[in-house]
Amino acid sequence: MSDVINKIEEYFLSNLTHKIGTFMSEEADKVELVPLEEEQPLANNLVFKSYQEMVDKELEEFLAKEGIPEEEVIKGCMGETGSSLVCVEYILAMVEYHSFMQLVADHRSCQEWEIGHRAVNR
């Protein structure tokens, strides 16, 4: 893992993961999970745009503070494709609609598991 990606991963884990979790808790239910090859509801695109704006703002502020050029992030992420790094998944979800929809689906699955798990353990 490159030093740039390592710094971004640390930042995401310590600062952004909670914000994204909160965002998903508040917004994921507004997204209609339909096959990507079908026309997407407007609400999906609005939530995607809000996610993009939030992550982009946080990432830009971090990069400016650390003096990391955006090109280094792109280069670093390209070298980490197929990895399970949180920052790469969240950045991909910011730039690729299908990755964002997968993030929403994953969040919903976790929520359903937690609800079911709590009900079983009562």
pTM: 0.84
Q: What percent of the chain has pLDDT over 90?
A: 64
Query: CA triplet 67, 70, 76: central angle to 5 degrees?
Result: 105
Amino acid at 62: F
What is the rounded average pLDDT for all residues in the chain?
A: 87
The confidence score (pLDDT) of residue 110 equals 82
Whether 49 has a pLDDT exceeding 80, the answer reads: yes
The confidence score (pLDDT) of residue 44 equals 97
Whether 121 has a pLDDT exceeding 70, the answer reads: no
Q: What percent of the chain has pLDDT over 70?
A: 85
Q: How confident is the model at residue 82 (pLDDT cuts 50, 70, 90)?
A: low
Give me the residue label for tokens 């090109």: 71
The confidence score (pLDDT) of residue 60 equals 94
Residue partners of 94: CB distance under 8 A and separation at least 6: 51, 52, 55, 56, 59, 100
